[in-house]
Amino acid sequence: MYAVIRVRGRTGIKRKLADNLNYLNLTRISHCVIIPENDSYKGMLQKGKDYITWGEISEETLKVLVSQRGRLPGNKRVTDEYVQENTDYANVDELATALFNGETTLKDSGLKPIFRLNPPRKGYENTKKSFNEGGSLGYRSENINELLLKMI
């Protein structure tokens, strides 16, 4: 399961690339989405690599992300009471574990598919270079968890 974060804005972006980012629900800077690892999504990530960063999210980071930044329609926070009443899970941690294991999706749970994050503490490294070159863009494997924790 990948966590994908939009790093750069929309100024000067080509139409096809803007559409690609819209299909990923990444319409603004510092928005994050959780997507499954499959070939069609990998192609979309490669197309948007100059505007986004992504990597494999850990279960602990996903729990923190859902509990602190997960939102319901109407911009309400996700609570254990809501999860208990409207899903098959007892609390937010169990829901996050089910999301991580692929047993359910955010849409099935009634949550918004986007996590709105703060900019990272101490800022992005460089928004025009790839992660391998010391920047913030592109694939960053397990290091996405550190970035997410800086942004929550």
Q: How far is CA 142 from the centre of its chain?
A: 14
pLDDT of 21-70, one tens digit each? 999 999 999 999 999 999 999 999 999 999 999 999 999 999 999 999 99
Q: What is the pLDDT of residue 10?
A: 86
Reported pTM: 0.91
Q: What is the pLDDT of residue 151?
A: 92
Q: What is the pLDDT of residue 4?
A: 96
Q: What is the pLDDT of residue 126?
A: 85
Full 3-state SS string of the chain:
CEEEEECCCCCCCCHHHHHHHHHCCCCCCCEEEEECCCHHHHHHHHHCCCCEEEEECCHHHHHHHHHHHCEECCCEECCHHHHHHHCCCCCHHHHHHHHHHCCCCHHHHCCCCCEECCCCCCCCCCCCCEHHHCCCEEECHHHHHHHHHHHC
Question: Closest Cα to residue 57, out of 115, 100, 88?
Answer: 100
Q: What is the pLDDT of residue 121?
A: 87
pLDDT of 62-117, one tens digit each? 999 999 999 999 999 999 999 999 888 999 999 999 999 989 998 888 999 999 99
**β 52-56/2-6 pair status:** antiparallel
Q: What is the pLDDT of residue 125?
A: 84
